[in-house]
Structure 1
């Protein structure tokens, strides 16, 4: 079995397909009844529609109101299909069941709850990652029964449209883009309106990882999402990768429909969907600017919701390894070409700074992974934490430093805290795919779950119904000390001024790279350059061997 981290990035671990067994419970809503089931650890309600199926003439349109089922009972016994996507990993990593009719949510409730009782619970609402081209709520990695049982909270997961069907823009066909982002907001609105019927107390904490973290940051920045949640947890947001401008999104949309050989609106609605790389765009309605820029300014001038923001300590390796498989990074020339592309005006200073801090690289994959993790994830996260702290707002920072040591079949992330490596600990799910936590792993899982639960309970990771128990107090981030929670075995501990020297340097360069990453034609030119460079290097090596 491949690394669960790789599976999460591209899709999910394994689609759930078996029928649940056990007792059932029925919830009566104004628009119909819903029947959920016990798995022994929690009540779970799968596949609740929060919007109308986005099919037919609703394809590429914002979500519309769900269709009531008054007078009947919805059997919420099966996970919903994933939204249409082109998953690259093959079975069983990719969801077996996909459909354009995919806008459903899942609710996990503590087993102690009964309908109509006075028992209420805090709510954690999760947004999955997958580069905005893949991902689903109905996979084993995000099965929330153990998370719900240990934290005594309600966990909600949901689907949103991805890829071309979620984020394509083409105003000529009245396709404004950001459909997937609006799907997320409509799911959040549904939870606000109806979670009380399931025992929710209205205290909603939004959390997400990777593309899900980008989404959380975007909802923090979007005025249209104000009031839908009271806290946020941002896990591994690649802040430096910008969202597309409407100009670049329009170009991509035009190219997409040319590839479909469509020149009429009817044609695009009749076509079978095809997957392309897409992401939310700055449409001046849902998003007014890059989320990081908006949040940095917001932290200085207005009230900021309490947030936990963090990264793993080796975010870059997963992505550089993917690139390395396509274009092996074996020589200094290719390494320099990649750095020159990203840092055209600061190339020498970047090379010299990293060489002075870490020595001349002997492994270019490792060095590129370090730079990518620092520049895209770690240092912009520190910048935002410092800005929130300087504004005397409430923010807590963390670093995840535990690899996938419980998984004997893991690849390069076995001992390395890759992108996404905290997720099995947050949800506590490795046993669902025949892996077992060590005692230290289980303790670390309980620690992060405790902090996430407390954040939902009190807007502070230290203050829950039982406090932090045996786990350390977690101070708010402050610029002077750079204090963060450093999650590692056997127990998380405090860290101070982690990577300050390199982040101080990268802060001087800045993290707005929309001039490069926001321009699809520039990226294609760079990839072409990489391919040409690899071919030339291969030819040179072949000639020199004779």
Structure 2
């Protein structure tokens, strides 16, 4: 049965969607039942690698800690992901695997709280699956890739649980772990194997999903890969993989992708690796392979100091244009080849950079001269004009406000708009949004900061209780916007179109209307929402 968007209805039950069958206009008579095939207490699936036993959580079958590649330890540290050898008998899949090694501070920070918690281990290449039924229903699949500045996060975080998507959308939801920080992003240029070990992990996970997801009730030909921040950059990078000339997935959701990052060349990455070797006291990769991962992660803190620049988001570890796994900026991979055929939903938050800078006392004390100097990096001799434009756009703006808006545009909004522009010019499908709802937390200083849209997308605020940046949100506004966004994401995953009743019509981004959905207490479709800033950054833009 084809999905008719005009028949779809969003039903609310305590702020969440009432059911996928009603959401999509498909009657329960025409769908598989959502009970695990082998019994309520212990769903079992047969895979080429071996048998898996999961658990039942509510109406879902859940499989946790499923290995998708060989443990990247010993000689496999800083090697591309390798196939997992499989196992004998029945493997229990009822507990999450360890998260990738990463910096950790008890109690977390003032914005997100914690983002990735122990246990940590190099043997971390596992994924998790939530499904309404391990049957043959061929449901759409969502694969979620977490962000975290390339150094933190986990597919096992409660905030990223696939439960709400699987339950509310009749979807199969998958979350993954992949190598982070020095273990995932250092580049050595040895043996011609390239770098970007994080990307080889993600590619192995996606290939695992393609090969195995049918056993979990999913459709391997109807996969959406979604991610936020560094995870969204990963989604774009994965678009370049094209076995047999076709994309590995049908749709892409990119939430706040930092497409404005300058991805280092091989030579530049080798310089960064040399800095890391000096910090650790190792001469080469062979010596580094003998260093315990705890010491490698500890060196991350000094890497921040060695690689950071004033007025820029700190990223001590970065992908590399290694000409093997990645040969161009990830955004370009969504414009040609297999990536051009992928449906794209892309967006940003209105005050992205407030996340990293609004609560930083040194930046709060920034002077106009300092910000003007930073603005020259972007605008050259038009820096003063740009400063005035940003200052006038935010009444009572301080220099730090101008700086944060400039950084947010440089790193997130303008490159995302540029990708939408270029796809629209080629007639390729793309939908754009801006998340505008500010949080009152920290006296409103965070505004609509980076990451704030995440609990709205997942519609699972109960899993975000440790996150300070949600304090003070009006529950009625919060839950109403979450229901709207969650339903749009589900609709896009199922149909390639984010529209649903009763939200306003959300047209594709094109070169005539440049429709962008403003996601706020009142959700509104706006024509050319970023037009003023697009022309400021690119004076010749139409």
Question: For this structure pair, what is the TM-score category when the shorter chain's length is used for normalisation?
Answer: 0.7 to 0.9
Which piece of structure 1 moves more, 327-336 or 375-384?
327-336
Query: Is 1:213 paired with 2:232?
Result: yes
Equivalence map 1:74-93=2 (5 Å): 74-88=91-105, 90=107, 93=114
Distance in structure 1 (CA, Å) of the matches to 2:45 and 2:490: 25
**Where in structure 2 are the equivalents of 1:64-213 lying within 5 Å?**
64-70=82-88, 72-88=89-105, 90=107, 93=114, 94-110=116-132, 113=133, 115=134, 117-171=135-189, 176-202=194-220, 203-213=222-232
Deviations 1:2-32 (A, max 9, x none): xxxxxxxxxxxxxxxxxxxx82211121221
Q: Distance in 1 between matches of 2:125 and 2:178?
A: 6
Deviates more, 1:410-419 or 1:468-477: 410-419
Specify the SS of the correspondent of 1:82.
coil
Alignment of 1:319-334 (within 5 A): 319-321=356-358, 324-334=360-370
Would the aligned equivalents of 2:172 and 2:218 in 1 still touch at CA under 8 Å? yes
> Which deviates more from structure 2 when the two are superposed, residues 201-210 or residues 332-341?
332-341
Closer, same or farther: CA 290–433 of 1 in aligned 2, 3 Å: closer
Structure 1 residues 404 and 23, CA gap change in structure 2 (3 angstroms): farther
Could you say what secondary structure the match of 1:503 adopts? helix
Query: Which one of 507, 514, 517 corresponds to residue 475 of structure 1?
Result: 507
Matched, 1:438 2:475: yes
How many residues are matched?
470
C-alpha separation between the residues in 1 aligned to 2:324 and 2:59? 42
Alignment equivalent of 2:390, drawn from 349, 354, 359: 354
**Structure 1 residue 183: Cα displacement:** 0.4
- Alignment of 1:234 with 2:236, yes or no, is no
The match for 2:518 is: 486
Partner of 1:389: 424
Partner of 1:24: 42
1:422 aligns with 2:461: no
Change (3 A) 1:387 1:265: closer
Deviation track 1:137-183 (CA, whole Å, cap 9, x = no partner) reads 11111012123211111110000101110010112587732000110
Q: How far 1:469 moved relative to its partner?
A: 2.9
Q: Distance in 2 between matches of 1:185 and 1:292?
A: 17
2:54 aligns to what SS in structure 1? strand
Q: Offset at 1:361? A: 6.2
**Post-superposition CA distance 1:441-486 (Å, at most 9, x none):** 2232222222222222222223xxxxx1322331111222221111
Quick one: distance in 1 between partners of 2:190 and 2:227?
33
Q: Any idea what SS the aligned residue of 1:83 has? A: coil
Once structures 1 and 2 are overlaid, which stretch shifts more, 154-163 or 212-221? 212-221
Match of 1:337 in 2: 373
Q: How far did 1:98 drift?
A: 0.3
1:159/1:498 CA distance change after superposition, 3 Å: same
2:58 aligned partner: 40
Matches within 5 A, 1:490-529: 490=522, 492-508=523-539
1:262 equivalent in alignment to 2:275: no
Listed as ranges, the gaps of 5+ residues in structure 2 are: 1-39, 301-315
Which moved further from structure 2: 219-228 or 141-150?
219-228
Shift in alpha-carbon separation, 1:246–1:508, aligned structure 2, 3 A: farther
Instruction: Quote the offset at 1:353 in angstroms.
Output: 3.9
Distance 1:279 1:181 in 2: 12
CA distance in 1, matches of 2:49, 2:394: 64
Contact 1:123 1:204 in 2 (8 A): yes
Q: Is the 8 A contact 2:484 2:503 kept in 1?
A: yes
1:344 is displaced (CA, Å) by: 4.2
Q: Using a 3 Å threshold, how does the CA distance of structure 1 residues 259 and 440 change in structure 2: closer, same or farther?
A: closer
Aligned to 2:33: none
Corresponding position of 1:9 = none
Mapped partners of 1:432, 1:471: distance in 2: 25
Q: Secondary structure at the match of 1:282?
A: coil
Deviation of 1:76 (Å): 1.2
Q: What does residue 30 of structure 2 align with?
A: none
Q: TM-score, normalised by structure 1?
A: 0.80
Q: CA shift at 1:345, angstroms?
A: 4.8
SS at match of 2:317: coil
Structure 1 residue 50 corresponds to structure 2 residue 68: yes
Deviations, residues 507-531 of structure 1 (Å, cap 9, x unaligned): 2499xxxxxxxxxxxxxxxxxxxxx
Inter-partner Cα distance in structure 2 for 1:39 and 1:437: 30
User: Whole-Å Cα distance in 2 between the matches of residues 99 and 305 of structure 1?
Assistant: 34
Root-mean-square deviation over aligned CA pairs? 2.6
Shift of 1:333: 2.5
Instruction: Give matches, 1:296-335, under 5 Å.
Output: 298=336, 303-321=340-358, 324-335=360-371
